[in-house]
């Protein structure tokens, strides 16, 4: 290299150990410059010639060197990283993450996802524990997916997606759960079903509560009384949803249709129907909620209510970036529309499959 070398002694080249984290010393050795020069390039400081800056930058990129997020935050008070915190990586949160990844492009931020591991004993309050670990040192702001609380206070903006406890002072993004559920049950009622069961969701989730309200509202609007024996708790858990579906389908007068509070529960219901030898949709119609990718791949493909999960992730990131920048956000409680996606698990009672 023929460019200028800054004030410190040049580090002699040394071989990089395979699989080890690249260090600033290794970058300096590879580039033939001092450690302070590498530091100046990494932090955009003055005192480095254009030629040296370009050369060192190429070496940094080639070796894949990254400074510690914690060290970077201590120097700059900004990490340019946004965290997405989820209780578990299940289909809903995965789709939200895809939308978040779409929204982060071109913002100058990086995206890091953190999972609470889905531990049952940590359902309530998991987001407080994780926020205390990452906010201010690792991330500039966070998106909480289905948080159990909405009164968190931390040194940075936080946006909640599908919060358990509903609206609060915390900015939120959710879908129209009540209208979506009404849509799904209205579809079954319009086909002629009058004994419609429901595999309900988690009782602590506002979205699950609203979906049950939508189920009841559709019955009331149609003048069809709700038979309480046709509701069974699936808790958004595959195994519990299977138990709930078995309970409903083994009743002396079983339902001719089941509305499930999410697609995972609906897919579990289809499995139970197959075990019991029931034809879908000939003997049983099934409607889910979410429209996760797996719903279109079911046998038969699942009729479901689509909530815009990717859009929810996208809008949460867009709102968070604006809040981090100090912009005024006109609407901090966003509710997105839901739509019915008819497929092949619904038909009139007794119809030929």
Tens digits of residue pLDDT in 64-103: 776 655 555 445 567 889 999 998 888 999 999 999 999 9
- Phi first, then psi: what are they for 172, rounded to 5°? -135, 155
Q: Collapse the DSSP code of 217 into the 3-class scheme (helix H, G, I; strand E, B; otherwise coil) and give the result.
A: helix
Q: What is the rounded CA–CA span in Å between residue 292 and residue 288?
A: 10
Beta strands in 6-132, from DSSP E residues, in sequence order? 81-86, 110-115
Contact 188, 181 (CB under 8 A): no
301: left (phi over 0), alpha (psi -120 to 50) or beta: beta
Q: Order of strands, edge to edge, in the sheet holding 231-233? A: 231-233, 196-200, 257-260, 285-290, 303-306, 339-341
98: left (phi over 0), alpha (psi -120 to 50) or beta: alpha
pLDDT in the model for residue 23: 82
Contact 114, 131 (CB under 8 A): no
Contact 145, 86 (CB under 8 A): yes
Q: Collapse the DSSP code of 312 into the 3-class scheme (helix H, G, I; strand E, B; otherwise coil) and give the result.
A: helix
Q: What is the rounded CA–CA span in Å between residue 146 and residue 351?
A: 39
Q: What is the rounded CA–CA span in Å between residue 28 and residue 198?
A: 64
Q: Collapse the DSSP code of 253 into the 3-class scheme (helix H, G, I; strand E, B; otherwise coil) and give the result.
A: coil
HEC secondary structure over 256-295: CEEEECCHHHHHHHHHHHHHCCCCCCCCCEEEEEECCHHH
Q: What is the rounded CA–CA span in Å between residue 143 and residue 146?
A: 10
Four-point Cα dihedral 262, 263, 267, 268, nearest 10: -30
Which regions in the chain score pLDDT beneath 50?
1-12, 14-19, 73-74, 120-121
pLDDT in the model for residue 191: 98
pLDDT in the model for residue 153: 65
pLDDT in the model for residue 198: 98
pLDDT in the model for residue 72: 53
Q: What is the rounded CA–CA span in Å between residue 336 and residue 82?
A: 23
pLDDT in the model for residue 71: 53
Q: What is the rounded CA–CA span in Å between residue 184 and residue 305?
A: 6
Tens digits of residue pLDDT in 201-258: 988 788 899 999 999 999 999 999 999 999 999 999 999 999 999 999 999 999 999 9
DSSP conformation class of 139:
B
Four-point Cα dihedral 136, 142, 144, 147, nearest 10: 30
Q: What is the rounded CA–CA span in Å between residue 208 and residue 252?
A: 27
Rounded to whole angstroms, the maximal C-alpha distance in the chain is 88
Q: Checking DSSP bridges between strand 231-233 and strand 196-200, what pairing results, if any?
A: parallel
pLDDT in the model for residue 66: 65
């Amino acid at each position: 290299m023929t460019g200028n070398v800054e004030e410190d002694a040049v580090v002699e080249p040394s071989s990089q150990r395979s699989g080890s984290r690249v260090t600033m010393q290794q970058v300096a050795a590879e580039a033939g410059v001092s450690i302070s020069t590498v530091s100046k390039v990494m932090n955009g400081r003055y005192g480095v010639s254009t030629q040296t800056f370009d050369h060192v930058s190429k070496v940094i990129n080639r070796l894949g060197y990254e400074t510690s997020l914690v060290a970077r935050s201590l120097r700059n008070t900004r990490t340019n990283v946004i965290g997405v915190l989820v209780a578990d990586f299940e289909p809903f949160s995965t789709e939200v993450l895809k939308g978040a990844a779409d929204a982060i492009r071109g913002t100058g931020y990086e995206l890091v996802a953190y999972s609470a591991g889905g531990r049952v004993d940590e359902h309530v309050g998991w987001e407080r524990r994780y926020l205390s670990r990452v906010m201010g040192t690792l991330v500039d702001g966070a998106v909480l997916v289905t948080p159990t609380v909405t009164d968190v206070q931390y040194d940075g903006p936080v946006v909640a997606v599908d919060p358990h406890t509903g609206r609060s002072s915390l900015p939120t993004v959710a879908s129209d759960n009540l209208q979506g559920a009404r849509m799904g049950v209205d579809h079954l009622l319009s086909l002629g079903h009058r004994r419609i069961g429901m595999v309900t969701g988690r009782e602590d989730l506002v979205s699950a509560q609203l979906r049950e309200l939508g189920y009841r509202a559709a019955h009331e609007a149609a003048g069809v009384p709700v038979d309480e024996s046709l509701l069974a708790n699936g808790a958004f858990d595959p195994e519990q949803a299977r138990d709930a579906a078995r309970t409903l389908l083994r009743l002396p007068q079983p339902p001719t249709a089941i509305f499930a509070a999410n697609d995972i529960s609906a897919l579990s219901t289809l499995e139970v129907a197959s075990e019991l030898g029931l034809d879908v949709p000939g003997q049983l119609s099934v409607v889910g909620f979410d429209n996760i990718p797996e719903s279109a791949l079911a046998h038969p493909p699942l009729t479901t209510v689509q909530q815009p999960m990717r859009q929810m992730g996208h809008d949460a990131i867009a709102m968070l970036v604006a809040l981090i920048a100090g912009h005024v956000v006109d609407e901090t409680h966003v509710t997105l529309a839901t739509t019915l996606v008819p497929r092949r698990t619904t038909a009139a009672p007794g119809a030929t499959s």
